[in-house]
Structure 1
C-alpha cells in the first residue's frame, strides 16, 4: 500500500510552503513574487480537522467496543460503491452472455478496492508509514469493501478469472491472500495475486524495480493478456490503478483518503 501520504489539505499546505519559499528568493534586489499556484489566503485551504470530519461523515464512521472504526453499510460511501458495482455487474453479465471464451478476466486492486483500509487510515491520521502498515496487515483482518467480494464471486461463477494486482510488497503475500480469503474473495494464489517485488522484479516489467504505479500495474495487465486472457473489467480506487490500457473497461471506486500518483 505504498502511496503519497498527503491528503488534499496537506497537499495545499505543502504547496503553500513552496510558495513561501519561492516568495523569499531575492531577485534583482527585491523579493520575487509569490507562487501563483499557492493559496493566497488561509480561506482557500480546507481546514484539516473539518476535512477529517467530512471523511468520517461520508464513510458513516462507527466505533466498535475495541475503539476501532468501520464504515457504515448505510453511508453515502456505501451507496456510491453499490452504484458503481451495479453498473459493473450489468456490464459483466452482458459480456458473459456474448463472450463464450474461457479466458475472460477481471482485475482488482487490493487496498480500498477489495479490502477497506479505513480503520488503519484513522489510526494513523491518514499518514502512511511502512512499519505500522506492515504490522497492521500482519495482525488484523481488513473487511471487504462493501459488495466487492460478492461481485468478484459472481464474476467467477460467470466464467471470469479473478486476478489481483497490488502495490503491496511480496513480503505481505501470505497475509494478503489470507485476508482476501477470510472475507470471501476468490482464491488469491500465486498465479492470481500479483505483488511488487523490488528485489526480483519479473522479466515482463521492462522498468524493473523502478516502475511507477502506472507502469507496474499496466505492465502486469499486459502480462496477463499475454497469457491469453481478455481483461473485461479493471477495478481500482486510484486513477493510477486504471491508467495505461490493457483492459476493456475500467471502474473507479471512491477514495477521498489518499492519493497514489
Structure 2
C-alpha cells in the first residue's frame, strides 16, 4: 500500500503517513494514538514507495512520456497466475453447467482496465476532474490477460457483467474503452455504473450506498434475474465482499484502497 492512498468511494484523499489516528485531550490538543509512528524511521519514504510500485509494475515510459506496466513484470506474472486458476475453475462444466444462467462479474478499474498511467500522471492523487478528463480522452489498456479470460468465458457460455463505481456520465467512454481493448461488448444490459441522480430501485441504500452495498446489491439483483455468478473479479476487497458469488478472485493493486 502506498503512503498516499485514495479513498475513491467518497473521493477523499487519505494520507497514511505521520499520524494514523489521534485522540482529543483536555485543552483541545491532539494526542498521538498508540499505533502512530514514534520516529520517521518507522515510516516508508514516499519516494521509495513510489519506486517500489514502479518496479513491481515494470514501469516503462514511451516517447510521449506516458507510463505503462510491463508484460514481464512481477505484477503481470502474479496476475497471470490468478487468471490461470480462474480459467481452470470456469472451464469445469461438471460444476457450473447446472441449469442456471452462468455469469462472471468484473470490476472495471484495475481489474479490467489498468489505471497505472493515470496514477503516475497524478502522483497517485485522485481527483474527480482529472479522472474524468483522462477517461474521456485516453484509452486505458487491459489488465494483462483479463480481456482473454473474459472472451474465453463467453465462449464457454458465460455472460460477462461489469460492475463499476464509475458514474453513469462516463458510460459512453467506458463502453468504448472496454470494446477497444478486446473485452466482450459492454452495453446498458451488462455494464452497471453508479447513478446518483437516479439509483435503481433494487438498491435500498439508493445514492448513499457504500461500495460494498452497491456491488453486492447489484450482484443480488443479477441473481434475482436468474443468473448464477460463478466468479467475481475485483482489485479491492470491497468489490468482492457481501456474497452473491460462488468464488472470488482478488486482482493485485498496491496503488490505492477503497474500503
TM band (smaller chain): over 0.9
Aligned to 1:174: 172
The structure richer in helix per residue is 1
2:60 maps to which of 45, 59, 62:
62
Q: Structure 1 residue 2 and structure 2 residue 8: aligned?
A: yes
Whole-Å separation in 1 of the counterparts to 2:212 and 2:30:
37
Whole-Å separation in 1 of the counterparts to 2:247 and 2:160:
15
Change over 3 Å in CA distance of 1:39–1:157 after alignment to 2: same
Equivalent residue pairs, number: 252
Q: Provide TM-score, normalisation by structure 1.
A: 0.91
Aligned to 1:34: 32
Aligned to 1:201: 199
The structure richer in strand per residue is 2
User: Once the two structures are superposed, what CA deviation does each residue of 1:191-231 show, in whole Å capped at 9, x if it has no partner?
Assistant: 10000000000000000000000000000000000110000
Q: Structure 1 residue 11 and structure 2 residue 11: aligned?
A: no
1:222 maps to which of 220, 223, 237:
220
The alpha carbon displacement at 1:44 in A equals 1.3
Question: Which 4+ residue blocks in structure 1 deviate beyond 3 angstroms?
Answer: 1-7, 31-34, 95-98
Change over 3 Å in CA distance of 1:14–1:175 after alignment to 2: farther
Change over 3 Å in CA distance of 1:32–1:136 after alignment to 2: closer
SS in 1 for 2:17: helix
Residues 109 and 165, structure 1, Cα contact 8 Å, conserved in 2: yes
Q: Which structure 2 residue ranges, 5 or more long, are not aligned?
A: 1-6
Change over 3 Å in CA distance of 1:181–1:60 after alignment to 2: same
Change over 3 Å in CA distance of 1:50–1:157 after alignment to 2: same
Change over 3 Å in CA distance of 1:220–1:41 after alignment to 2: same
Whole-Å separation in 1 of the counterparts to 2:208 and 2:257:
19
Change over 3 Å in CA distance of 1:97–1:58 after alignment to 2: same
The alpha carbon displacement at 1:168 in A equals 0.1
Whole-Å separation in 2 of the counterparts to 1:194 and 1:141:
19
Change over 3 Å in CA distance of 1:98–1:179 after alignment to 2: closer
Aligned to 2:69: 71
Aligned to 1:106: 104
User: Once the two structures are superposed, what CA deviation does each residue of 1:30-62 show, in whole Å capped at 9, x if it has no partner?
Assistant: x88631021111111111000000000000000
Q: CA RMSD in A?
A: 1.9
Aligned to 2:4: none
Q: Provide TM-score, normalisation by structure 2.
A: 0.92
Residues 81 and 254, structure 1, Cα contact 8 Å, conserved in 2: yes
Residues 168 and 194, structure 2, Cα contact 8 Å, conserved in 1: yes
Residues 212 and 238, structure 2, Cα contact 8 Å, conserved in 1: yes
Residues 19 and 32, structure 2, Cα contact 8 Å, conserved in 1: no
SS in 2 for 1:225: helix
Residues 93 and 158, structure 1, Cα contact 8 Å, conserved in 2: yes
Whole-Å separation in 2 of the counterparts to 1:168 and 1:110:
8
Residues 19 and 37, structure 2, Cα contact 8 Å, conserved in 1: no
Whole-Å separation in 1 of the counterparts to 2:214 and 2:196:
11
